[in-house]
Amino acid sequence: MNTLFDKIWDKHVVQIVDDGPTQLYIDRLYCHEVTSPQAFAGMRERGLKCFRPQQIFCMPDHNTPTHDQDKPVDDPISRKQLETLDKNCEDFGLTEYKMFSKDNGIIHVVGPEKGLSLPGMTIVCGDSHTSTHGAMGAVAFGIGTSEVEMVMASQCILQQKPKSMRININGRLAKGVTAKDVALYLMSKLTTSGATGYFVEYAGDVVRDMSMEGRLTLCNLSIEMGARGGFIAPDETTFEYIKGREYAPKGDEWDKAVAYWKTLKSGEDAVFDKELDFNGEDIEPRITYGTNPGMGIGITEAIPTLDEIDENGKASFLKSLDYMGFKPGDKLLGHKIDYVFLGACTNGRIEDFRAFASVVEGKQKADGVTAWLVPGSWLVDKQIREEGLDKILEAAGFEIRQPGCSACLAMNDDKIPAGKYSVSTSNRNFEGRQGPGSRTILASPLVAAAAAVTGVITDPRTLM
């Protein structure tokens, strides 16, 4: 019996090239302003039109400022990229959700939100965190700029079929443990290359119990284990989330779609190239201490000592700690922090703001902490205000910024200064990722909230 990955992949095969790649049909192409300009330029040079423009959706997000979006963008590079996307979408007749429009946000937040990402689809974007859409039960993965052009021109892509892996996480998560902690835990166990060459299916009690927001977070971080992508079989939670959304099927089409989506699961006897099992009860709130997302510990644990590090990895381990200003064996509880960032395509959804607000309610932002709370879309911003979370956050001394990728990466105004510590809900903690010389500690919205009100790394369970 085939795996779910096989079922979706095989249904989209146009042809297989002998001793070469597979020509795979793509249902949805997402474009943003950073990785698309060269693709559009290539199309112009060859005098081509987009083959199926109705399958392509574009949105600025990386360079978007998170304040004064109704004014011209100051940074000349950002402004140029934003203007170029506008022109390209106009010239090629593509749907674009422009900056400051009610439909704008981060592409990986808006796609599921609008019902554009659906079970059984193949979805690509010139962005590694495209794996986020796998939470919908889709095969979604990032591609390069030349491949973006290929999809624009033919709605197909040439790909080698990845191997399949299933990660089962059973048991129950304890209080204060989130999908972000699950992902950080998996990365520490598998390392950042442990899933290289695989497409990962997440399964088990913990995954079944996750909300859609939690599943989107988990799938978002698949790429950080080296995986080509990650996804979850659709179920009632998925259908409930999709129903009634703008691009979701309606009426009889909805019933037909759900009947098909219910077939999208791996067979009882499906054979995976690799299968791993973990227990949800082993996971506590997590933080990273190094310069890749796999360098993480439980919040009450200590950074490994040199004796615990493989001989081949010692030099890079010490280089990483030197950059972060930590030492082997250090505990990070109580370590002073300077910035807190809530947002990104990893944790910029309504559930993340609810979690953050639940910790800070009735407390005050710590002096000396700069906090950037950035919704993943204008819809999330609207939900925050409808639920009164804005009042809770403002009473605690926090300000909600305008949607965008923000401090996830140093491509807009929201940069962490050199040497400063940032507790961030984003997906990467590479050297300089949040700004030259910045020091990033990846964490869940609960851990970020606890740090924001105490000014130090704090176990959120002590405040809940």
For residue 243, pLDDT over 90 is answered with yes
DSSP string across 129-162? GGGGGGGGT-EEEE--HHHHHHHHHHSEEEEPPP
For residues 373 and 343, is the Cβ–Cβ distance under 8 A?
yes
Q: Residues with Cβ < 8 Å from 56, sequence gap 6 or more?
A: 28, 29, 30, 31, 50, 94, 95, 152
Q: How far apart are CA 410 and CA 430, in angstroms?
A: 11
**R_g (Cα) of the chain, nearest Å:** 21
pLDDT (tens digit, 9 = 90+) per residue, 289-322?
A: 999 999 999 999 999 999 999 999 999 999 999 9
Q: How is residue 188 written in tokens? A: 């520490």
**Binning pLDDT at 50, 70 and 90, where does residue 22 land?**
very high
Closest by CA position to 59, among listed 39, 27, 91, 81: 81
Distance between start and end Cα atoms, the chain: 45
CATH topology for the 287-462 domain: Aconitase; domain 3 (3.30.499)
pLDDT tens, residue by residue, 349-395: 999 999 999 999 999 999 999 999 999 999 999 999 999 999 999 99
The C-alpha atoms of residue 165 and residue 369 are separated, in whole angstroms, by 41
Question: CB atoms < 10 A from the CB of 256, how many?
Answer: 11
Residue 17 has pLDDT above 70, yes or no: yes
For residue 39, what is the enclosing H or E element? helix 37-45
> Are 4-274 and 287-462 the same fold in CATH?
yes
Q: Which pair of tokens denotes residue 418? A: 């050199």
Choose the weakest-confidence range: 191-195, 247-251, 424-428.
Answer: 191-195
Q: In the chain, where are the structural domains located? A: 4-274, 287-462
Pairing of strands 339-342, 421-424: parallel
Residues 6+ apart with CB under 8 A from 207: 169, 215, 218, 232
What pairing do the DSSP bridges indicate for beta strands 198-203 and 139-142? unpaired
Q: Show the tokens assigned to 224.
A: 């950080």
Identify the CA nearest to 147 among candidates 36, 227, 45, 59: 36
Q: Where are the alpha helices (DSSP H) in 162-261?
A: 179-190, 205-209, 212-220, 236-242, 252-261
| CATH class label, 4-274 | alpha beta
Q: How far is the C-alpha of 203 from the C-alpha of 166, rounded, in Å? A: 7
pLDDT digits (tens, 9 = 90+) for 392-421: 999 999 999 999 999 999 999 999 999 999
Encoded amino acid at 117, one letter: S
DSSP 333-377: TT-B--EEEE-HHHH-SHHHHHHHHHHHTTS-PPTT-EEEE--SB
pLDDT (0 to 100) of residue 43: 98
Give residue-wise pLDDT tens across range 98-156: 999 999 999 999 999 999 999 999 999 999 999 999 999 999 999 999 999 999 999 99
Tens of pLDDT along 174-208?
A: 999 999 999 999 999 999 999 999 999 999 999 99
Tell which residue, 276, 282, 327, has the closest CA to residue 306: 327
In DSSP terms, which residues pair with 440 in a beta bridge?
422
**What integer is the mean pLDDT of 214-221?**
98
Model confidence band, residue 1 (pLDDT cutoffs 50, 70, 90): low
